[in-house]
Amino acid sequence: MGKVYAVGVGPGSPKYVTEIVKEIILNCDIIIGYKYTLKTIDSLIVGKEIYEITMSNQEESYQKIIPKLDNKILVIPFTGDVNFSESEVVDRLIEIFGEIEIIPGISSIQVAASKAKVPLDKSKVITMHVTTPIEDKKLELQKALIDGFSVILVPRPWPKQPDKHFMPSEIAVYLREHNFDTTKMKVHVFEAITTKNETSFVGTIKDLEGKEFSDLSVMVFNQTSLDSYMNYRWQWENQS
């Protein structure tokens, strides 16, 4: 079997594709990915053997590629970073192909945190974008907010199954029903971040009720206060 790479291609703009990922894509023979992800790198994959997949046909497509891999390089691109919110797929790829090399990318959560000026090292990062039950993740969200952390969150679009659909409006209702004062909690919602279609919303969590956002959304619950090194100047001022 040839070489298999799983690479992150950033949140949407080609400008966020790293140089190492560009090099790997340009040198590959076969590439397989989702339509939105492939569009991000369309200028890099001209002349490649390309397979566009969906959730429903991805398993069949991966299996079809196995016989083609003798001494060839396969790239599976992921929107954002391979290591965030993609573990279910990556685990399956390891089961199918064995050894794969993972190359990280820039995630939408990093860009959203930067735009909202919320530091990741003082935040909790949560993804609801999984197929498994998210009840524990909902409790994790509650605890993080109660403990005073900011939260960068990827919601879960599942419009065909309302009981699994957990987008900003549903999250706002959930928090209100669990006794959070959502009228005073600041939140950002970014859609299609880094692309020409990017939009942003800033307001309170209460304001999100009834609003619809696309499946390319990232939420930032902002509970950050400035805490610069000047608050700790005693550490050097009192040194002899």
**Residue range 75-128, pLDDT digits in tens:** 999 999 999 888 889 999 999 999 999 999 999 999 999 999 999 999 999 999
Backbone CA torsion sign across 229, 232, 238, 240: negative
CA 126 to chain centre: 10
β-pair type (217-221, 150-154):
antiparallel
Contact 107, 23 (CB under 8 A): no
Give the helix/strand (H/E) hosting 221. strand 217-221
Q: Which amino acid, residue 41?
A: I
pLDDT at 229: 87
Q: Which amino acid, residue 131?
A: T
pLDDT at 236: 80
pLDDT at 1: 65
Contact 80, 107 (CB under 8 A): yes
Backbone CA torsion sign across 76, 77, 82, 87: negative
Map out the domains of the chain with their CATH numbers: 3-103 (3.40.1010.10), 108-221 (3.30.950.10)
Measured CA to CA, the distance from residue 82 to residue 65 in angstroms comes to: 20
pLDDT at 155: 96
Per-residue pLDDT of the chain (240 residues), as tens digits, is 689 999 999 999 999 999 999 999 999 999 999 999 999 999 999 999 999 998 889 999 999 999 988 889 999 999 999 998 888 899 999 999 999 999 999 999 999 999 999 999 999 999 998 888 999 999 999 999 999 999 999 999 998 898 899 999 999 999 999 999 999 999 999 999 999 999 999 999 999 999 999 999 999 999 988 888 888 887 888 765
